[in-house]
Amino acid sequence: MVEAVETMDGWWSLHDLRTIDWASWKLASEAERQEAIKSFEKLVTKWDTVEEAKNGSHAMYKVVGQKADLMFMFLRPTLDEINELETEFNKSKFAEFLIPAHSYVSIIELSKYRPAKDGVDPETLPETQARLKPILPKWEHICFYPMDRRRAGDENWYTLEKNVRGKLLYEHSLTGRKYANKIKQFITGSIGLDNWEWGVTLFAHDPLEFKKIVYEMRFDEVSSKYGEFGEFFIGNILKKEDIASFLHV
Ligand code: VOV
């Protein structure tokens, strides 16, 4: 029987995408719009406080294209906290002008393909803990997409021996390392949690780097033979201080 791989699981994650109902936003009174903006800013301040206390993290982006207008990525220690956060958001004045566009539930995941060094469980290392409970970068651009590992005929990831999968992922990591300082990647696992097996969230200063890394990785065996991809979402950062001008009509 093929051996599964053990995973190290960190903070829970929610990608929450919303479309702004611009028609009702424009029909609202100026006082109502101001109330909605204030409610949104208040929430962001609360999320910032959680992040400062290192009890979670968030990212907030304006989506390019018509799939949504806003993309949030929330990280919290428990699924309950994720749920509380989205419910509080849904109850806010601002949410009266938002239409859910898409959501994705997963958990920050690292896998244990490499044998433990000197018998030390990697999960106990501070650097691993920092990667499992990361503070998301506030870089200018985000790219999010879900993916699966193929399970078809001879191209079946789940019938490959663990050491073969480990080797293919090691080769994948070599391509990834070329993008150090250009791309920050967060892999969230969603097997048993959502429709795809992993979520890939990338941050970049230059959005062209998304195309470059994804293109180059398409030729790595782990992607060319065993990668299946879902919808892509691309966004530009929305800073708290720019909320009012972004929503100005
Ligand atoms: C920015 C660079 C970068 C780097 C350095 C990097 C490195 C690594 C390492 C070392 C490992 C394995 C151990 C672990 O940490 O789990 C992984 C794992 C993984 N990756 Fe990756 N990846 C990157 C980037 C990166 C990208 C751009 C993609 C999308 C691939 C594409 O074709 O569109 C991706 C996917 C994944 C996935 C889905 C997994 C989990 C697969 C599984 O079967 O378990 N990844 N990845």
Amino acid making up residue 230: G
Cα 173 to chain centroid, rounded? 19
What range does the domain containing 168 cover? 7-247
**Residue 249: pLDDT above 90?**
yes
DSSP assignment string, 41-57: HHHHHHHHHHHHTTS-E
107 lines ligand 1 (CB under 6 A): no
Query: Would the ipTM clear 0.90, i.e. be above it?
Result: yes
Question: What percent of the chain is modeled with pLDDT above 90?
Answer: 96
**Residue 29: pLDDT above 90?**
yes
Q: What is the mean pLDDT of residues 187-204?
A: 98
Residue 2 lies in a domain: no
Residue 1 lies in a domain: no
Number of domains forming the structure of the chain: 1
Three-state secondary-structure class, residue 222? helix
Q: Is 149 annotated as a binding residue?
A: yes
Per-residue pLDDT band for 71 (boundaries 50, 70, 90) equals: very high
pLDDT digits (tens, 9 = 90+) for 171-189: 999 999 999 999 999 999 9
Residue 206 lies in a domain: yes
Give me the catalytic one of 145, 158, 170, 215. 145
238 lines ligand 1 (CB under 6 A): no
CATH for 41: 3.30.70.1030
- Chain mean pLDDT for the chain: 97
Residue 125 lies in a domain: yes
Helix (H) or strand (E) holding 211: helix 208-218
